[in-house]
Each structure stands twice: as C-alpha cells, then as structure tokens.
Amino acid sequence: MIMSFESSNRINISFYAAVLITLFMLDGANGRGLRLSPVDVVTSKITTAVKYVIVDVNGSEEFTSIQDAIDSIPHGNQDWVVIHVKKGIYREKVRIPREKGHIFLRGSGRTKTSIVWSQSSENNYESSTFKVEADNFIAFGISFKNEAPTGIANSSQNQSVAAYVGGDKAAFYSCGFYSSHNTLLDHQGRHYYDRCYIQGAIDIIFGHARSIFHECEIFVIADKRIEIQGSVTGHTRTSVNENTGFVFLKGRIYGMGHAFLGRPRGDHSRVVFAYTYMSKTVRPEGWSDWNHRGSLENVYHAEYNCHGPGSSTEGRARWLKKLNGQEAAPFLSTDFIDGKQWLLVGQS
C-alpha cells in the first residue's frame, strides 16, 4: 500500500508512539522490562505526520526500486518520509541528493535487506554504491555493499566504496557496510553509527567527518596483494580549527587479516578508540604513517581503556596519545557530535 504525496492520508506516528509507551509500561508492570529497539524509538520520536512509502524488489508494492521511491519525494521536503524497504537484494546504485532531507530508510534487517553494486573507480565518490548528500537522514536494518573484485594495488581501479555519507546529521542503526577497499567514505558532517557492522581491508573508514561509532563491529579482511597492512581508519583533518574526528566507543575489531588502527590523511588527523575490544588483528604498532608526507606533531591518534589481546599500548607508534579520564571525557558521549541537538536516539 502506498500513501502518495498528493494524498491527504498520512500515518500519525504520535499514535504509534502512544502505543509503544503503553506496551512498555504494561510489560514493565509484569517485570519483563521490554526494551524497545532503536527503530521503534526513532519512529516514536517522529511525532509529526509523515509520508510512508514501501519498496519491494519482488513487485508486491508500487515501487520495486529504492531510487524510484527517493525520486518520488519532492525537492525541499521538510517532513520525515519513511521508506520501508522489504527484504531482498536491490541491485542498484542509490543516491539521496542534497535537496531531499528528512528520509528514514528502514530495511528489514541488515542480513535481509541489502543495496548491492559492483564498481571500482579512481574516484571514491563515483564508485559508491550508496550516496547520501542530504541533511537529516536515518537508516536502519540495511546493508550497503560494493562487490567489485579486488583491483590492482595502487591503481586507479582500486577504490570500491560501499557508502558515501556527505550530509549533516545522519544516523545509521544496525546497518552493514561491505567492500574490499575503502568501505565507508564518511566524508563530512556530523554522523552517528550504532551497532553497525563494517568490513574491509584498507582505509575501511575514511573521510573528513565528525562521527561516533557506538558498539560497532569492524571486520578486517586480509589483503594479500601488498606488504603494507590495511588500516581501520584514514581520517582527514588539516587544521586544529577543524572540529572533526572519528570516535569509536565500546566496539570490536577482529578479522582474518592484520591492520593498523589508523593512518593520518592530514596533519591534524583525529581518531579516538575507547572501551574497544581489539583482537590480535590489530598490529602491535597500532598506528601507521604510511604515505603521509607531512608532520606527525599534531596528529591526534588516541586510545583509552581498550581491552583484548591487541590493545596493549607497549610498542605503539611514538605519536600515540594514551588518554586519562579527563582527556577522554570530551569523546565519551554524543556531545562530541552535538547529539542532543539532533539525534533521535543515541547513547548519552
């Protein structure tokens, strides 16, 4: 069933919120303590009437293509639009342009709903399977995959990005990101990733953004083509005046290969790992300056209270910052991304 933009029929999410709250109270009264999922909490907090679109690759709904559903949204949209993507593999490139904000892309689970393409390019943006350039975006329960075969090392056909995130105020809950090289281009803006799965080999997460990765799993794939081990992060920050950086809280790093926690892609690169489990996948040096020709004096690569066999800071790169509680505090809540101003659900 489709509720078109011309129709006066809209779903009143306030009603849904009331139902959820009632269920929570009743369940709590019986001592079971129902825990609402992020998708329910997000939905309950979108209190204005919204438009609702369903996509089914098998043809049971009006739209079989996610891009067609996005194209149906008017430019300059100011109301939240829920695009419910039923389970299936959607083999298409998808782009949400800057003019189409307030989209909630709801899948049926990251192992059930996926957007898949196969493209390598010397241009990371061009190779991306999924691009979101609009502000105010939410995704839940969907995977983004670039299935391009591993290219020739150091060649122009070696970038195969799964997702490009270039808008401000974007949140991903229980999503998956898969590629063999340059998986997630976290380009710019404030972003929040919660309980996501991110898989890759080299520069798995890279870009200029200011982002928190909360309880995310990072799986490292071995890249046998070159001697240089991969890196979990490659953050670009060129000035102390840029308030950007990647923060990883309470997640896990493991896999089949070995990788550094990060390498600088700018003289002021900023990456923090806190309360993170690190398997032996993490190289003892922790951090690499591979292909960096600038100074390391202002690079902010830091660790705080991490654990696991790969977390020992003995033998780490000389520029590592071992944070104390006071130094770590600014990175341990969503205040780092001004989350209280825009996040609908996230850790405090």
- Tell me which residues are annotated as active site: 203
CA angle 148/152/153 to nearest 5° reads 115
DSSP 24: H
CB count within 10 Å of CB 286 equals 22
Order of strands across the sheet that contains 51-55: 51-55, 81-85, 103-106, 137-140, 170-173, 190-194, 210-214, 245-249, 270-274, 300-304, 321-322
DSSP 127: H
Question: What gap in Å lies between CA 322 and CA 88, rounded to an integer?
Answer: 44
Question: What gap in Å lies between CA 326 and CA 62, rounded to an integer?
Answer: 54
**Phi/psi at 121 (5° precision):** -160, 155
